[in-house]
Amino acid sequence: MADDGERVAVVGAGVVGSTTALRLARRDADVTLFDAGNVASGASGSAAGIVYDAFADPLDAEIASDAIAAFRERGSITDRPYVWFAREGDERNAEAIREHVPRMQAQDRAVEFVEPSELGARWPGLRTDDIEVAAVARNAGVVDTGAFTRETAQFAVSAGADARTNTRARLDEEGRVNGESYDAVVVAAGAYTGRLLAGAGYPLAVEAYRVQAYLSASTPLAERVPTLYDATAGYYARPDDGRLLVGDGTVPEAHDPTDWKRSADAEFRRDCASYLETAVGESLDERRSWAGLCTATPDGDPLVGERAPGIYVATGFQGHGFMRAPAIATRLAEEVLGGDGVPAFDPTRFDGEEDFEIVEGMTLDG
């Protein structure tokens, strides 16, 4: 635990690290923010930017709602309903949607079922003739992830934080960062978090896995298609500056965060093109595609909090890190300063030596 005015190192200038640094600096902590690259040069800068609070679990719904409120307070969100659906013949996902929507409504989420005909009338670019069941979340939108993260880091600097970009941080067994002692250390370095902690003798139950995204060429269809998750096909999509962004090309295998393929696979690119032709009825050329790393945990919940005395972590977000970042970072900063944090996400609930299967973050299970 650090007190106001004490020295805190934050490792990782993605959205969680930058927001944590900002919250701490505004509480008069002496904050140093490290990143091996530039601000938002990792997962935060290439995230899809889809945000919504459509969760059935009370804690997840609360955190997502708080995060959206923070995005709105900054004027960073473009409101867009979020639609998810299952197509005919996909009884497992259709039943999951039918089960989850009432549970979301019980959490006072602005979620409702929507008839395929209504969906098609509102978004005529989307094929709806074979949709079995669909739902829409009204409290949702999209955020420019890179711009938000860079702005957050700049606010942290303005509040007094010292940002050391292009500076690789090393955590040792004494809890020092690059040989310097701090009252507290926060590691929010994305896929590198587990490697940094393990090197200092504090293993984490987290694995990095590879995901892929595809951006189409410009198309008028971008304004005729909602932000969506097609549970049957396993893809999410959203309009992006006159184009369509498609993702969830998950490779559910552990990857070394220092050695992985950053370009999208040819098969994934072909599958995305084929999916778009099925979903919107037109073949759309690729503008660009890429791959990134997400992090998984044994139970699908993140690891957020104190891993060892004075050493805090935030990782394992299963691809939902940006969406929840402002709320997660606020709670983590409070824990660093002596508050409660998020007990359900306590990283010490695992011993760090667990073997587990990586499961895609974008699913309707659970």
| Per-residue model confidence (pLDDT) at position 250 | 85
Task: Provide the terminal-to-terminal Cα distance of the chain, rounded to the nearest Å.
Answer: 34
Q: What proportion of the chain, given as a percentage, has pLDDT over 70?
A: 97
Q: Which tens digits make up the pLDDT trace of 172-202?
A: 999 999 999 999 999 999 999 999 999 999 9
How large is the average pLDDT for residues 294-320? 96
Place 333 in a pLDDT band, splitting at 50, 70 and 90.
very high
Q: What architecture is the 7-45+145-206+298-349 domain classified under in CATH?
A: 3-Layer(bba) Sandwich (3.50)
Residue 164: its pLDDT value, please? 98
What are the extents of the domains in the chain? Answer: 7-45+145-206+298-349, 79-138+208-292
Distance from C-alpha of 286 to C-alpha of 291, rounded to nearest angstrom:
14
In whole angstroms, give the CA distance from residue 339 to residue 335.
Answer: 4
The CA-based angle 35-41-47, given to 5 degrees, is 125
Q: Residue 225 above 70 pLDDT?
A: yes
In the predicted structure, residue 366 carries a pLDDT above the cut 60: no
Of all residues in the chain, the percent with pLDDT exceeding 90 is 92
Q: Considering only the top CATH level, what class is 79-138+208-292?
A: alpha beta
Tokens matching residue 43:
């997962």
Residue 11 has a pLDDT of: 98
Report, as an integer, the average pLDDT of 215-234: 94
pLDDT of residue 266: 95
Do the first three CATH levels of 7-45+145-206+298-349 and 79-138+208-292 match, i.e. the same topology?
A: no
Task: Taking the CA atoms of 153, 156, 157 and 158 in sequence, report the sign of the dihedral they define.
Answer: positive
| pLDDT of res. 251 | 86
Q: pLDDT tens-digit profile of 91-124?
A: 999 999 999 999 999 999 999 999 999 999 999 9
In this predicted structure, the answer to whether residue 126 has a pLDDT above a threshold of 70 is yes
Q: What is the mean pLDDT of residues 261-276?
A: 94
CA distance 99 to 352: 33
170 closest CA partner among 153, 191, 190, 185: 185
pLDDT for 252: 87
